[in-house]
Structure 1
């Protein structure tokens, strides 16, 4: 009897304990950890390369040079040089820095420098001879203008507005260029081989998504751009007219007094940049 009473008391105590535990407040589960989605920013240094096409934008359609009688078969022989027909491939690289005032969408300012090869020199000796012919062993060339330009570069400011990963911008600043006309014609020093000027233009740039097949680095730091640029290089007014060349000696034996001419050309190019720092 006593054993039965003890067993019943034990069962009753256990049941009471379970009921009391069930009435206790349950511990709340911890809140989920919130991970904010990174906001893309254009701020940072970048470097890349570009390629495109350049073509003459000057107002000069032709220059005519009277060949001195000593170097022509007929008096009154002339040589005409078309300047506006110059065009060719251009390619090079760029480096720069952008600063975006507000991540996501907002004002972006920056500075960019580039150096470019340009294929204008292939038509350097192209001339239309009229009224006679050049004497044997001589040729005519106009080393001015785009025909002597082999490379150019710019240092430009950029101002634009970003809509998240799309940036529209304008750009402008200092430009320079040089050619090989002096070295190509027996060291003749009548040209201004190095020239300076200005450049202006604009473009649009897009930051590739991480999963894009063009994003080789699999990061948010690869951008593509399409840009148009107008370049004006001042040649000055030194002896830079058309020349008669002694082909055997590769030296200039006569030159015209044609003066100043600006080198004006336009560039349309596409480029790829790697921005250091993903966001």
Structure 2
């Protein structure tokens, strides 16, 4: 009877060992998501511009404005352990516009308009599987127009501007080839002088900074 009990216990132990081994084969550990690769995508969001006018013959004033930005981006990420480095270029059309009383002249309106906004930025992030938190920074491009639009009509030009940008973002890979995220960036385009197209020897200086918040979706190859 004792021998039979030991034999049954041995058989039961062997069966349990085989069952455990089988379970381990059938339940492999899932591998972490890898962010390495090229991607292309679209973006849309809002922008808030701070445009400060100054000159030798009038008090300084601002034509702060807001509007939408919409465009696309292309980039590349490379993952090293949990760190992700990359580069991204983007270009967006802009409807940002702001106006205000020109200095202290009653009845006048001065206006700042933005046509587009773009940048080339480096990115450094930290990946927690399918979540990527990152910071970015680089060179930025835009096109502004400055004008007095009421009472006395005159154009102060504007044109292409080059500045710098830096920001933060978070991205989530909701499919193996699809990611979505939200990103904030600050832009500084410095100051630029523009001469009146009507009054000789009359010019204004415009200093422009901007904040944007955009939602982004990417396809990763």
Shorter chain as denominator, the TM-score bin is 0.7 to 0.9
Task: Say if 2:182 is the partner of 1:206.
Answer: no
Change over 3 Å in CA distance of 1:96–1:120 after alignment to 2 = same
Work out whether residues 65 and 80 of structure 1, in 8 Å CA contact, stay in contact via their aligned partners in 2: no
Change over 3 Å in CA distance of 1:131–1:274 after alignment to 2 = closer
Work out whether residues 33 and 129 of structure 2, in 8 Å CA contact, stay in contact via their aligned partners in 1: yes
Work out whether residues 71 and 93 of structure 2, in 8 Å CA contact, stay in contact via their aligned partners in 1: yes
CA distance, structure 2, for counterparts of residue 177 and residue 131 of structure 1: 29
CA distance, structure 2, for counterparts of residue 264 and residue 177 of structure 1: 11
Superposition RMSD in Å: 3.3
Change over 3 Å in CA distance of 1:112–1:132 after alignment to 2 = closer
Gaps of 5+ in 2: 1-21
Show the counterpart of 2:39: 46
Q: Could you say which structure has the higher strand fraction?
A: 2
CA distance, structure 2, for counterparts of residue 223 and residue 258 of structure 1: 44
Show the counterpart of 2:203: 257
How many residue pairs get matched?
193
Which one of 234, 238, 243 corresponds to residue 190 of structure 2? 234
1:41-73 deviations in Å (ceiling 9; x for gaps): 000000111111111246x4x76997xxxxxxx
Show the counterpart of 2:63: 83
Change over 3 Å in CA distance of 1:191–1:113 after alignment to 2 = same
Alpha-carbon distance, 1:127 to partner = 3.6
TM-score (norm 2): 0.73
TM-score (norm 1): 0.59
CA distance, structure 1, for counterparts of residue 27 and residue 62 of structure 2: 67
Gaps of 5+ in 1: 1-30, 67-77, 134-139, 209-218, 244-251
Change over 3 Å in CA distance of 1:257–1:165 after alignment to 2 = same
Alpha-carbon distance, 1:128 to partner = 5.8
Show the counterpart of 2:114: 149
- Larger Cα Rg: Structure 1 or Structure 2? 1
